[in-house]
Structure 1
Amino acid sequence: MEDQELKRLLSEAETIAVLGAHKDPGRPAHYVPKYLWEQGYRILPVNPRFAGEELFGAKVVAGLKDLTKPVDILDVFRPASALMDHLPEILALRPGLVWLQSGITHSAFERALEEAGIPVVANRCLMVEHKRLFRGALPL
């Protein structure tokens, strides 16, 4: 996906659901959504292990089917081997963009989303890309 389109999608987005959100501050599944929350996005954390607890100002839900608000971006922190299990719920949710975090790719999953008209970004960190697109290059 080209930077201009990515920047547009991130600018227009208000709500980001985080599949695999975690409460351990040392894990990317915590500090990435925390950064996004601090940038003003509404974060909807999804993780059955922490269902009912609060993260980023919202109650954690067990699964995508439990989300009650529209989702602009679905940020995925799940292993590639688990992605196809989530596909039916993701297709039902119809997020505006599915973002697979760094290290996560699955060609059949990505193809299924694209065929359903849902754009996908794979193997990139949403926090890193947001900083790059909105803050400019960071000095070395």
Structure 2
Amino acid sequence: MAYEHPSREKIKELLQNTSVIAVVGLSDKPDRTSYMVSEAMQQKGYRIIPVNPNAQEILGETCYSSLADIPFKVDIVNVFRRSEHCPPVAEEAVQIGAKILWLQLGIHSEEAAEIASKGGLEVIMDRCIKVEDSILLPK
């Protein structure tokens, strides 16, 4: 099954129904893309949950070592990891009952997409969540 991006209208609907975004690979360094994108999304009103085993807190939120450690529901799992690391993240996203697996710009994994899709998740790959949100839900 070849991956196809959801329509822009579908992505807009998904973002409108999102409040909690777990960010796998969120750096605690303010000059990193993952930090800048997550900070911007936080400023738009989304709750950003850092998944980084090497930090205690990022953007004022407690860091978790894995998705399984997050003690509440997550809408989107946003991934800032190299493509080859995405299949296990997709498996965890399915296990925690996330709604969406979002692989950031430059990240593409057919295997992760298949795992997530079979687990009932919407999949978005190789797109920047901040850019999509800015275009589809300008405030």
Do the two structures share a fold, i.e. TM-score over 0.5? yes
Paired AA for residue 24 in structure 1: K
How many residues matched?
A: 134
Residue 122 of structure 1: which of 116, 125, 132 is its match? 125
Q: Distance in 1 between matches of 2:113 and 2:13?
A: 21
Could you tell me which amino acid in structure 2 is paired with residue 5 of structure 1? K
2:9 is matched with 4
Distance 2:119 2:57 in 1: 32
Q: Matches of 2:89 and 2:121 in 1, distance apart?
A: 14
Give every structure 1 segment of 4 or more consecutive aligned residues whose post-TM-superposition deviation is greater than 3 Å.
none
In structure 1, C-alpha distance between the alignment counterparts of 2:88 and 2:99, rounded to whole Å: 20
Determine the C-alpha separation between the residues in 1 that align with 2:137 and 2:58.
24
* Larger RCO (alpha carbons 8 Å, 6+ apart): 2
SS in 1 for 2:117: helix
TM-score by length of structure 2 reads 0.91
| 1:113 aligned partner, one-letter code | A
- 1:58 is the counterpart of 2:61: yes
User: Between Structure 1 and Structure 2, which shows a larger proportion of helix residues?
Assistant: 1
Q: What do the CA deviations read for 1:11-65 (whole angstroms, capped 9, x no partner)?
A: 1111000000111111111011100100011111001111xx2222211111111
Q: 2:47 aligns with which of 28, 42, 47?
A: 42
Gaps of 5+ in 1: none
Match for residue 102 of structure 1 among 92, 101, 105: 105
Structure 1 residues 107-116 or 32-41, which shifts more? 107-116
Judging changes above 3 Å, is the alpha-carbon distance between structure 1 residues 74 and 87 closer, same or farther for their aligned structure 2 residues?
Answer: closer
Structure 2 portions without partners, runs of 5+: 1-5
TM-score, with structure 1 as normaliser: 0.90
Q: 2:51 touches 2:63 (CA, 8 Å); kept in 1?
A: yes
Is the deviation greater in 3-12 or in 80-89? Answer: 80-89
Q: Deviations over 1:42-97 (max 9, x none)?
A: 111001111xx222221111111110110011100011111123233222112111
Work out the percentage of aligned pairs sharing the same amino acid. 31
Question: What is the alpha-carbon root mean square deviation over aligned residues?
Answer: 1.3
Superposed, which structure 2 residues align to 1:81-96 within 5 Å? 81-96=84-99
